[in-house]
Amino acid sequence: MSVIYIKGGIVVDPTQGIDGEIMDIFVKDGKIVEESGAGKADTVIDAKGMTVVAGGIDIHAHIAGPKINAGRAMRPEDMKYARNKSGPLRCAMGRVLMTCPAIGYEYARMGYTTAIEPATPALYAIHTHEELDSIPMVDKAVLPLFGNWHLTFKFAAEGDIEKMKAFIAWAIERSKGFGVKVVNPGGVEAWKYGRNVHSLDERIPGFEATPAEVLSTLIKASIELNLPHKVHVHCNNLGVPGSAETTAETIKLAEKIGASKDGRESLHITHIQFNAYTGEKWRDMGSGAEELSKLVNRTPVTVDMGQPIFGHTTTMTADGPFEFALHKLFKSKWINKDVEIETGGGIVPITYRAKSPVNAVQWATGLEFGLLVDADKVVISTDYPNGGPFVEYPYIMTLLMSRKFREKEIEEKGVNSYIEKATSLPSLDVERTFYEIVKMTRSTPAKILGLENKGTLKVGADADITIYPFDCRNVSPEDYEVLLKGLRSVAYTIKDGEIVVKDGEIAKEVWGRTFWVNAVKGATQEIIEEDLNEVFRYYTVSRGNYGVREEWIRRPETIAIEE
């Protein structure tokens, strides 16, 4: 490990309240250190005129596991694009869907250093970790799916928080996961009967529980377990007119329960854009972003955008009934997977067209959230690959920072004028500052994930650093082209104290850590022994073969929760 001085850069670090101060940053042994503790520099980066921020964090991107991999196999027409030829580095393939080497390289080239895979069936966790282990450059973690597990339904119906705590701790330990993901609670189980659930208070087929009870018990159990990241939910009724109401009800569940013990929010609504439509039919569909943003701003809830990008992509989610609906709508190819008695999933290719009124509203709605929710509560995401490629984050940042750029895009792309009636975007004059953008890509996701050493340049933090080749104090929303170019072309990315990108090109391939949360001490495991044994009668794998051992992972790092 070496010592790096980053001299004279313009530092932006919202965690420390630093907004554009000229400072030196010192890096040693993978950490940010005081000048006095740094010792002699091996490398000095002259960052004069450049902006120094922490490495970016993607809180929600489907980058590893059986879903994206089935998507790759189904779409050779998307995978045939070569991003990098084999040489000292790996060959990197894919247009929107990408191979593992491509995912790692593209994150690093964008100045991102951490990414969270947000949905794996625990049954497939071994596979998901194999793929995470094949993604170079970034730190990562994975959220196992809880929202349609038979045991979740059972403990939710019984309202048994203690058992739910034990179950969460057990499942996260077995899957070497990071937190609790919920997708369309109850709806994926209902899909196994060819149905869906349509409201939070509907009984889940075959069980006594309702989606509201599933969510409430999981949120309460996660709070009591002190998980670093609380419940991460893909709401019911995703992707249909009227979904805004379901989202509002979901947020109110968290409001009723309250914040976490440490004061942080207790619920993360992911890709909220996809769950924020008003109206009853596609004909009168509109954006519910204004109302929902107000609600988010006053409740213990955080969100990420789920911004669509016009063009081709592949949707993939554990929300099996939603993917079936997409398949029927677009008559396109369709993968479905019903997973034992715990979850399911689907994959369908789609295209977002600026001229389509529905897609235009989706595009505008995502941006409304990015503009209207407090920067401490909203994170930039495309819900990769559902909204589009994560490599477009600089484009989203620029849209949020420049009204003129938004107007230009609406004009040039011919975004359907229905957005004037159905969304507030055309009239919004909000322009995010660079400081807010750094929050939305660094400090806010770090806070939501409970990763104290991420998303900041404070002493002791991980030395994950992005250096942009421009002075953030001089960028003007008027010069959006300069801004976009600057955000797209990172001067340096530093990962764990090593220069991994220089002038936009990969300088070194490195392997990040995989964080997982061990909360088994936070709950009495014995109380669910019988339930587990009972439920494994209906699995097709033995309990002894269920789960991942730490030694099978390339660079595991345990976050242990004490009692």
Partner 1 sequence: MTLIIKPKSEFEVCVEAEITPEIARNLEDAKNFKVYLGKEERRLEELFDLEFVDDREEKVILKGDFSRVKWIGREMKGGEIIVEGNVGMHLGAFMEGGRIVVKGNCDDWVGGMMKGGEIVVEGDTGNRVGCNYWGESEGMKGGRIVIKGNAGNYIGEKMVDGEIVVEGNAGDFVGSEMKGGKIVVRGKAGYTGWDMKGGVIEVGECELSPSFVKDAEGVWRGDVNVKGEGVVRILQD
Partner 2 sequence: MIRDIVCTFCGNACDDIEFEGDYGRNLCPIGEAKFAKKERIKAPMVDGKEVSYEEAIERAAEILKEAKRPLLFGWSSTVNEAIRLGVLLAEKVGGIYDQCSSVCHAPTTLAMIEEGIVGGTLGQAKNRADVVVFWGCNPVEAHPRHPTRYSVMAKGFLTRSRAERRVVVVDVRKTPTAYLATDFYMVEPGSDFMVFTALRSIVNGHEEAVPEEVGGLTKNELKSLAEILLKARYGLIFFGLGVTHSRGHERNVEAVIKLVQDLNRKTRFILQPMRGHFNVVGSGEVAAWEAGFEYAIDFSRGYARFSPGEFTAVEALIRGDCDAAMIVASDPAAHFPKKAVESLKEIPVIQIDPHPNLTTKLADVVIPTAIVGIEAEGTIYRMDGVPLRVKKIRESDYPSDVEILEKILEKVIS
Rule CB under 8 A: choose which of 16, 297, 336, 525 binds partner 2: 336
Q: Does residue 78 belong to the site contacting partner 1 (CB under 8 A)?
A: yes
Residue 77 engages partner 1 in binding (rule: CB under 8 A): yes
Cα separation values, 300 from 125, 222, 448, Å: 30, 14, 11
Beta bridge mates, 302: 268
Q: Environment class of residue 404 by beta-carbon count within 10 Å: exposed (0-12), middle (13-18) or buried (19+)?
A: middle
Tell me how crowded residue 149 is: count the other CB atoms within 10 A of its CB.
27
Residues 6+ apart with CB under 8 A from 47: 6, 7, 8, 9, 10, 467, 491
Q: Does 534 bind partner 1 (CB under 8 A)?
A: no
Of the two residues 130 and 409, which places its CB atom closer to partner 2 in the complex? 130
Span interacting with partner 2, options 218-226, 435-443, 509-517, 540-548, rule CB under 8 A: 540-548
Q: Give the nearer residue to partner 1 in terms of CB position, either 28 or 312.
A: 312
Cβ distance to partner 2 smaller for residue 40 or 537: 537
Q: Which stretch binds partner 2 (CB under 8 A): 151-159, 163-171, 270-278, 328-336?
A: 328-336
- Examine residue 513 and tell whether it contacts partner 2 (CB under 8 A): no
With beta carbons less than 8 A apart as the criterion, state whether 487 and 394 touch.
yes
- Determine contact, residues 466/492, Cβ cutoff 8 Å: yes
3-state secondary structure of 532: helix
Q: Quick check: 347 and 88 in contact, CB under 8 A?
A: no
d(CA 163, CA 168): 9
Stretch that binds partner 2, among 73-81, 264-272, 380-388, 426-434 (CB under 8 A): 73-81
The DSSP H or E segment spanning 366 is helix 357-372
The CA radius of gyration of the chain, in Å to the nearest whole number, is 22
Task: Find the length of the chain.
Answer: 563
Does 75 bind partner 1 (CB under 8 A)? Our answer is: yes
> Which residues on neighbouring strands pair with residue 239, listed in sequence order?
none
Nearer to partner 1, 331 or 537 (CB): 331
Distance CA 250, CA 272 (A): 12
Alpha-carbon distance 407 to 468, whole Å? 25
- The 75-94 contact track toward partner 2, x by CB under 8 A, reads xx--xx-x-xxxx--xx-xx
Name the minimum Å distance from CB 61 to partner 2. 15
Angstrom distance (rounded) from CA 109 to CA 493: 7
Pick what 325 binds: partner 1, partner 2, none; C-beta below 5 to 8 Å, kind-dependent: none
Least distance (Å) from partner 2 to the CB of residue 560? 24
Residue 306 CB, shortest distance to partner 2, in Å, is 23
**Least distance (Å) from partner 2 to the CB of residue 95?**
10
Q: Which DSSP symbol is given to 242?
A: T
- Closest approach of Cβ 213 to partner 2, in Å? 21
Work out which of 74, 487, 499, 548 binds partner 1, going by CB under 8 A. Answer: 74
Q: Find the shortest distance in angstroms from Cβ 86 to partner 2.
A: 5
Going by C-alpha positions, the residue among 12, 115, 14 that lies closest to residue 57 is 115
Of the candidates 52, 57, 74, 197, which one interacts with partner 2 according to CB under 8 A?
74
Establish if 391 lies at the interface with partner 2 (CB under 8 A).
no
* Residues 445, 111: Cα–Cα separation, whole Å: 15
Give the nearer residue to partner 2 in terms of CB position, either 72 or 377: 72
| DSSP label of 340 | T
Q: CA-to-CA distance for 336 and 317, rounded, in angstroms?
A: 10
Q: Is the peptide bond before 385 cis (omega within 30 degrees of 0)?
A: yes
Question: Quick count: other Cβ atoms within 10 Å of Cβ 295?
Answer: 18
The item of partner 2, partner 1, none sharing an interface with residue 351, based on CB under 5 to 8 Å by kind, is none
**Is the CA virtual torsion 24, 28, 30, 32 positive or negative?**
negative
Q: Half-sphere exposure of residue 284, counting CA atoms within 13 Å on the CB side?
A: 5
Cβ closest to partner 2, residue 36 vs residue 545? 545
Residues 109-138, interacting with partner 2 (CB under 8 A):
123-127, 130-131, 134
Beta carbon of residue 545, minimum distance to partner 2 (angstroms, whole number):
5
542: partner contacted, choices partner 1, partner 2, none (Cβ within 5-8 A by kind): partner 2
Question: 53: part of which helix (H) or strand (E)?
Answer: strand 51-54
366 binds, among partner 1, partner 2, none (CB under 5 to 8 A by kind): none
Binding mask 33-72 for partner 2 (x = CB under 8 A): -------------------------------x-x-xx--x
Question: Which residue's CB is nearer to partner 1, number 259 or number 350?
Answer: 350
Residue 68's identity, in one-letter code, is I
Nearest distance, CB of residue 51 and partner 1, angstroms: 41
Residue 44 interface partner, choices partner 1, partner 2, none, CB cut-off 5-8 Å depending on type: none
Contact residues: partner 2, CB under 8 A: 64, 66, 68-69, 72-76, 79-80, 82, 84-87, 90-91, 93-94, 99-101, 123-127, 130-131, 134, 150, 191-194, 206, 324, 327-328, 333-341, 344, 347-348, 537-542, 544-545, 549, 552
Contact residues: partner 1, CB under 8 A: 74-78
